[in-house]
């Protein structure tokens, strides 16, 4: 079988091979691998330059120390909130904490109040009725005067240097927001979290490095991200979601701020542990791409707009290509493969695709390990690499469903992520 | 003296009417006006006789037992010489056992009439008459000396006696059994005199038709049962402060003597028990209103009040307070005559047993001091019981008031900013930023004419204390002591249990039953 496959491989012409490899070459595998490789080459060159020309120069860490307000907005996160607060407390000197309880019924506010007894710079806000995450975050805005707002999810743990790392880029006044790394807190709990942990390492930790260098970083994780308060106040805070974090990022870019990535500002978050939760989460992400990148912020591609910037145009193009056009192309290819390719060769083609994909993922894994702060853990997570192609095909399928239903039925406005009274009165893009 | 007139002629109706208190039961289409007059006279005279009868029975000190006891055991307990046949023990064995055959003594010398009576009573569908027949007064008296009977049908013109003597001799030997006189003479004055002498009914033989005789027997038995019910002690009701005692007029006449030991404790001035002089007394004489008892030592009574206790059927000792009316020294000690006190006058009245709010000290306590209550509780007279639970000042145990206030300093001076959450753009801002002349306008998305509920909702910011600059989502319940003005968070309030006392109250009537 294997011999047959090698024979088939060597008999095919290069163009034909490229044709059958088109999906992975066009889709994110190459994009992340090549991007990461490029980043690594630049970094390695810099490192060489420094060791050769400035061997004695010590890296001075953490020069910037603005006042920080950590906003923890959550719904029914009484169980995990204490750990989040513990992980934050005492890691940064000029920090206040605001916990916003978005109408929880599990006593989240009272747990936060107990903490507020011990932590002086802590405020607890409670909304009587659930109003969605955007309104909960906005609720905190009038009650702080800090320069930097850091949003943390109620089920995430911020690493001890996380706040320090995330505020460093704000030394540059053109930076409006900083994206941070989100990693899995429970990578080995189940197979599903293991696969997600590897995906997060690839897409966020190394993937955003590349996007940030290219200037097309357009996403800040809701679980951990930092914003300049003056910028947020100019924009009057978050709009109604789902996908409110991506929306705010785009609005910031539109108003001229830069978004950068702080790879070592890390936070560990609880990943979904069952498939249905994961699918619902991914559907929301895909809906947001259609709602915001393809509808609400379509004016970013208008060159006559006074705010037009090439990087924003590239960002939007990148999203359209990878999340919509190439996604459809992938499924078109899959149909073509199944219907038109000779049956005998189907197995060879799939095997070829699989091998190439895993090889590219291996390359990325090496780069992840190069940058990693915890190489042993990341290597263990990397053992899931052979399963990743299947996982990605599944996510592509979710993506197909989600994008299609959002384009044709505006599904996100029927989603319960935002309460119904808010959904009904907001704009349907 | 109600008389019940019905149109139905059924024995069951008669009996029920009598049991419910009617004196007689007449059937509309079966009596003449003369009959009605006659019955009314009978009823008046019968009632007079019953009243005398109750007084006689109640005045007898030897009628100690409940009516349900058997005659045999009573007779053994009572000295034979003291038995007055006229006031013989009410015999309830027959009344209580309605299922058994009722003994009917028929005193009759006319054999033709005898068969008529037998025929009627034996075919009575209520059934159960066991008829004994004698034909002269002497035989009737002999029989009554040896047997019990439930009803006597007495022909008052017997060969060995005249009508007046017949009744006078039979009536005292009949006990509680109704005597129904039978005669050939339709003489109203004679009949009334007969009722006055204790006959239940006075029937003219020539008018005995339509089951008049069996009705008379049933009504006689029913009247007798009602009379005995009146003499039975009523069950006492349970009450929060112990069983309540029901004094009825009738029972005050009854006098009994108690066989169980009597625990006596004199009460000192101030309400404490006199521990030195508590003793076990013997009861001499007991009635519903008072008790006479003897204690084994002589001493100056500290007050006129005593607590006496008697063990009851449930094994607990029940107590009541009595007021001493007379004290006579005897050879062994003292003989005391006392009256039962009403609950409200007693040392163990509700106000004394339950903790009361004292406005001066600002706390709850019983009117008597705790030591006195503890002494009574130690004697077993009072039993402590949890009445209520209150929150008190953690410092001085005084009563606090509660209100909301700052969590840190308890101050009442707090502010709370009000904000608006605009649904459409998720903007949350202060109310003043939304207020424009005549309408609400969102400062973020510039939507105009916003409507509360549909477009926006009010949310409260954190409460901020003006005294100490503390902020919190909710205000704390703050207590402030009314006595020492100490301010404290409500959860620090001392939880206090209010202990009241319970006393097993002695019911003199139950005592009578138990003796």
Q: What are A308-329's pLDDT values in tens digits? A: 888 888 888 888 888 888 889 8
More confident residue, B244 or B317: B317
Greatest mean pLDDT range, B7-16, B182-191, B490-499: B490-499
Where residue B239 falls (left for φ over 0; alpha for ψ -120 to 50; beta otherwise) is: beta
User: Mapping DSSP to helix (H, G, I), strand (E, B) and coil, where does residue A256 land?
Assistant: coil
- Domains B3-231 and B250-350+506-514 belong to one CATH topology: no
State the pLDDT confidence band at B403, using cuts at 50, 70 and 90.
very high
pLDDT of residue B313: 75
Quote the minimal CA–CA distance from A294 to chain B in Å. 19
Is the pLDDT at B224 greater than 50? The verdict is yes
Q: Is B464 in the A-facing interface, judged by CB distances under 8 Å?
A: no
Kindly state the DSSP code that residue B198 receives in the 8-state scheme: T
- Neighbouring CB atoms inside 10 A of A378's CB total 20
pLDDT tens by residue, B141-188: 888 888 878 888 888 777 777 777 788 888 777 777 888 888 887 788
Could you give all domains of chain A from N- to C-terminal order, each with its CATH number?
68-274 (3.90.550.10)
Cβ–Cβ gap B430/A426 under 8 Å = no
pLDDT of residue B245: 46
Structural class in CATH, domain B3-231: alpha beta
List chain A residues with CB under 8 Å of B425.
236, 239-240, 426
Contact call for A131 and B457, based on CB within 8 A: yes
Q: How far apart are CA B369 and CA B352, in angstroms?
A: 10
Contact yes or no for B426 and A134 at CB 8 A: yes
CA of A411, closest CA in chain B: separation in Å? Answer: 18
- The answer to whether B426 faces chain A, any CB pair under 8 Å, is yes
pLDDT of residue B6: 53
Nearest one of B304, B220, B198, B318 to B260, comparing CA atoms: B318
> What's the rounded Cα separation, in Å, for the pair B365 and B387?
12
Tokens representing residue B339 in the block: 């009256």
B430 touches chain A (CB under 8 A): yes
Question: How many Cβ atoms are within 10 Å of B159's Cβ, its own excluded?
Answer: 8
- Report pLDDT for B84: 40
Contacts of B37 (CB under 8 A, 6+ apart): none
Tokens of B98: 């309605």
Q: CB distance A123–B427 less than 8 Å?
A: no
Give the pLDDT of residue A196.
94
CA distance A78 to A87: 15
Indicate whether this complex's ipTM tops 0.95: no
Per-residue DSSP letter, A369? H
Helix, strand, coil percentages (3-state) for chain A, rounded to 5, are 60, 15, 25
Instruction: State the burial class of residue B328 (Cβ atoms within 10 Å of its Cβ: 0-12, 13-18, 19+).
Output: exposed
Q: Does B462 touch chain A (CB under 8 A)?
A: yes
Residue B86 has pLDDT above 60, yes or no: no
For B420: left if phi > 0, alpha if psi spans -120 to 50, otherwise beta; the answer is beta
Q: Return mean pLDDT, chain B.
A: 77
Residues of B in contact with A244 (CB under 8 A): 426
Flag whether pLDDT at B480 surpasses 80: yes
Residue owning tokens 């904490």: A97
Domain at B250-350+506-514, CATH class: mainly beta
> Which of chain B's residues have a Cβ under 8 Å away from the Cβ of A143?
461-462
From chain A, the residues in CB contact with B462 under 8 A are: 123-125, 143
* pLDDT for position B243: 44
CB crowding A337-354: b at 16 or more within 10 Å, else e: beeeeeeeeeebbeebbe
User: Rounded CA gap, B213 and B113, in Å?
Assistant: 12
Chain A partners within 8 Å of B444 (Cβ): 236-237
Partners of residue A239 in chain B, C-beta under 8 Å: 425-426
Q: What is the pLDDT of residues B295-317, one digit of tens each?
A: 888 888 888 888 888 887 778 88
Cβ distance B244 to B277 under 8 Å?
no
User: Interface of chain A against chain B, CB under 8 Å?
Assistant: 101, 109, 113, 116, 123-129, 131-132, 134-135, 138-139, 141-143, 236-240, 244, 421-422, 425-427
| A-B contacts at Cβ under 8 angstroms | 79
- What chain B residue is nearest to A244 in terms of C-alpha separation? B426
Assess whether pLDDT exceeds 50 at residue B81: no
10-residue mean pLDDT series, chain A (429 residues):
82 80 72 83 89 72 90 91 91 92 88 85 88 92 93 91 92 93 90 92 87 88 93 91 87 91 91 92 90 86 86 88 87 86 80 88 90 90 91 92 91 85 83
Q: Is A109 close to B455, i.e. CB distance below 8 A?
A: no
**What is the spatial order of strands in the sheet that A68-74 belongs to?**
A122-127, A95-102, A68-74, A148-153, A224-228, A175-184, A258-269, A156-158
Q: Residue B8: helix, strand or coil by DSSP?
A: coil
Residues of B in contact with A237 (CB under 8 A): 426-428, 444
Helix-strand-coil split of chain B, %, nearest 5: 30, 30, 40
Residue B17 corresponds to which tokens in the numbers above?
Answer: 């009417």
> Which whole number is the average pLDDT over B109-126?
76
In the predicted model, is pLDDT for residue B88 greater than 80?
no
Eight-state DSSP code of residue B354: S
Residue B127 to residue B106: CA distance in whole angstroms: 16
How would DSSP label each residue in A259-328? EEEEEEEEEEEPPP-SHHHHHHHHHHHHHHIIIIIIIITGGGG-TTSTT--HHHHHHHHHHIIIIIIHHH
Residue A139 C-alpha, separation from nearest chain B C-alpha, in angstroms: 5
Asked whether B396 and B363 are in contact (CB, 8 A), the reply is no
How close A47 gets to chain B, by Cα (Å)?
Answer: 46
**Confidence at residue B53, expressed as pLDDT on a 0 to 100 scale:** 74
Triad A243, A161, A242: Cα angle to 5°: 5
pLDDT for res A338: 84
Two tokens, residue B128: 């159960």
Residue ranges of the domains in chain B? 3-231, 250-350+506-514, 400-497
SS3 B44: helix
Nearest chain A residue to B463 by CA distance is A125
Q: What is the pLDDT of residue B365?
A: 83
Q: How far is A103 from chain B (nearest CA, A)?
A: 11
Give the phi and the psi of residue B296 in degrees, each rounded to 5. Answer: -85, 10
Among B420, B424, B426, B430, most A C-beta atoms within 10 A, so best to mutate, is B426
Nearest to A237 among B423, B427, B461 (CB): B427
Cross-chain Cβ contact A237/B430 below 8 Å: no
Minimum distance, in Å, between the CA of residue B491 and any CA atom of chain A? 14
Q: Which of A266, A268, A270 is nearest to A192 (CA)?
A: A270
How distant is the Cα of B416 from the closest Cα of chain A, in angstroms? 12
**pLDDT score at B344:** 74
């Amino acid at each position: 079988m294997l011999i047959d496959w090698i024979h088939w491989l060597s008999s095919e012409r290069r163009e034909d091979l490229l044709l059958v490899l088109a999906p992975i070459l066009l889709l994110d595998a190459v994009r992340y691998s090549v991007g990461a490789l490029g980043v690594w080459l630049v970094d390695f060159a810099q490192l060489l330059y420094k060791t050769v020309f400035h061997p004695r120069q010590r890296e001075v860490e953490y020069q910037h120390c603005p006042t920080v307000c950590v906003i923890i907005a959550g719904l029914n996160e009484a169980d995990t909130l204490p750990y989040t607060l513990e992980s934050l407390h005492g890691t940064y000197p000029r920090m206040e904490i605001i916990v916003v309880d978005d109408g929880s019924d599990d006593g989240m506010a009272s747990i936060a109040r107990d903490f507020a007894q011990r932590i002086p710079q802590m405020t607890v806000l409670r909304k009587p009725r659930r109003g969605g995450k955007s309104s909960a975050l906005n609720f905190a805005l009038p009650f702080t005067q800090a320069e930097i707002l850091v949003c943390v999810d109620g089920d995430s743990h911020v690493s001890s240097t996380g706040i320090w790392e995330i505020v460093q880029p704000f030394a540059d006044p053109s930076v409006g927001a900083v994206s941070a790394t989100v990693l899995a807190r429970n990578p080995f709990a189940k197979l599903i979290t293991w696969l997600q942990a590897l995906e997060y390492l690839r897409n966020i930790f190394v993937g955003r490095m590349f996007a940030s260098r290219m200037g097309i970083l357009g996403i800040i994780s809701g679980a951990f991200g930092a914003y300049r308060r003056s910028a947020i106040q100019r924009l009057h805070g978050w709009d109604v979601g789902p996908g409110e974090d991506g929306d705010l990022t785009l609005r910031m870019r539109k108003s001229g701020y830069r978004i950068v990535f702080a790879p070592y500002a890390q936070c560990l978050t609880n990943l979904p542990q069952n498939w249905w939760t994961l699918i619902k989460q991914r559907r929301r992400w895909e809906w947001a791409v259609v709602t915001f990148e393809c509808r609400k912020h379509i004016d970013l591609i208008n060159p006559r707009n006074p705010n037009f910037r090439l990087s924003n145009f590239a960002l939007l193009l990148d999203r359209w290509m990878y999340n919509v056009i190439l996604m459809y192309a992938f499924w078109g290819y899959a149909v073509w493969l199944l219907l038109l390719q000779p049956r005998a060769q189907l197995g060879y083609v799939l095997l070829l695709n699989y091998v190439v994909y895993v090889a590219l993922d291996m390359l990325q894994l090496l780069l992840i390990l190069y940058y990693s702060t915890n190489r042993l853990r990341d290597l263990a997570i990397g053992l899931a690499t052979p399963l990743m192609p299947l996982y990605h095909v599944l996510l592509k399928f979710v993506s197909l469903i989600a994008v299609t239903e959002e384009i044709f039925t505006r599904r996100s406005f029927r989603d319960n992520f935002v309460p119904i009274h808010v959904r009904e009165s907001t704009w349907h893009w | 003296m109600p008389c019940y007139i019905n149109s139905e002629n059924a024995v069951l109706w008669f009996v029920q009417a009598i049991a419910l208190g009617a004196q007689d039961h007449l059937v509309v289409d079966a009596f003449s006006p003369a009959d009605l007059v006659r019955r009314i006279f009978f009823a008046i005279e019968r009632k007079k006789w019953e009243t005398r009868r109750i007084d006689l029975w109640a005045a007898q000190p030897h009628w100690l037992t409940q009516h349900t006891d058997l005659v045999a055991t009573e007779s053994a307990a009572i000295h034979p010489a003291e038995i007055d046949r006229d006031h013989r023990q009410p015999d309830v064995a027959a009344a209580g056992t309605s299922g058994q055959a009722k003994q009917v003594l028929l005193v009759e010398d006319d054999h033709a009439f005898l068969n008529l009576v037998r025929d009627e009573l034996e075919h009575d569908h209520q059934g159960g008459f066991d008829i004994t027949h004698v034909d002269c007064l002497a035989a009737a008296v002999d029989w009554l000396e040896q047997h019990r009977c439930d009803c006597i049908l007495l022909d008052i013109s017997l060969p060995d006696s005249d009508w007046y003597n017949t009744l006078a001799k039979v009536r005292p030997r009949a006990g509680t059994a109704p005597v129904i006189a039978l005669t050939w003479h339709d003489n109203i004055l004679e009949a009334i005199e007969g009722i006055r002498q204790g006959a239940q009914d006075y029937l003219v033989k020539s008018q005995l038709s339509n089951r008049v005789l069996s009705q008379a027997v049933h009504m006689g038995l029913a009247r007798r049962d009602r009379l005995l019910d009146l003499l039975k002690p009523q069950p006492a009701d349970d009450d929060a402060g112990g069983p309540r005692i029901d004094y009825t007029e009738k029972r005050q006449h009854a006098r009994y003597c108690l066989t169980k030991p009597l625990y006596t404790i004199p009460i000192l001035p101030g309400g404490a028990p006199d521990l030195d002089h508590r003793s076990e007394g013997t009861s001499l004489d007991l009635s519903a209103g008072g008790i006479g008892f003897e204690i084994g030592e002589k001493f100056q009574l500290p007050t006129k009040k005593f607590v006496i206790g008697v063990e009851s059927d449930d094994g607990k000792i029940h107590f009541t307070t009595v007021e001493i009316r007379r004290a006579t020294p005897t050879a062994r000690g003292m003989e005391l005559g006392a009256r039962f006190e009403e609950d409200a006058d007693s040392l163990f009245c509700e106000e004394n047993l339950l903790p009361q709010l004292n406005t001066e000290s600002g706390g709850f306590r019983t009117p008597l001091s705790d030591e006195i209550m503890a002494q009574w509780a130690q004697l077993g007279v009072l039993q402590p019981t949890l009445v209520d639970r209150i929150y008190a000042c953690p410092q001085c145990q005084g009563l606090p008031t509660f209100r909301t206030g700052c969590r840190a300093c308890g101050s009442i001076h707090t502010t709370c900013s009000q904000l608006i959450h605009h649904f459409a753009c998720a903007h949350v801002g202060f109310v003043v930023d939304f207020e424009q002349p005549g309408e609400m306008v969102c400062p973020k998305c510039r939507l105009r004419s916003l409507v509360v509920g549909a477009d926006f909702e009010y949310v409260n910011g954190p409460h901020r204390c003006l005294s100490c600059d503390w902020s919190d989502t909710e205000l704390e319940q703050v207590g402030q002591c009314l006595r020492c003005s100490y301010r404290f968070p409500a959860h620090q309030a001392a939880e206090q249990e209010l202990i009241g006392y319970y006393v097993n109250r002695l019911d003199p009537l139950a005592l009578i039953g138990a003796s």
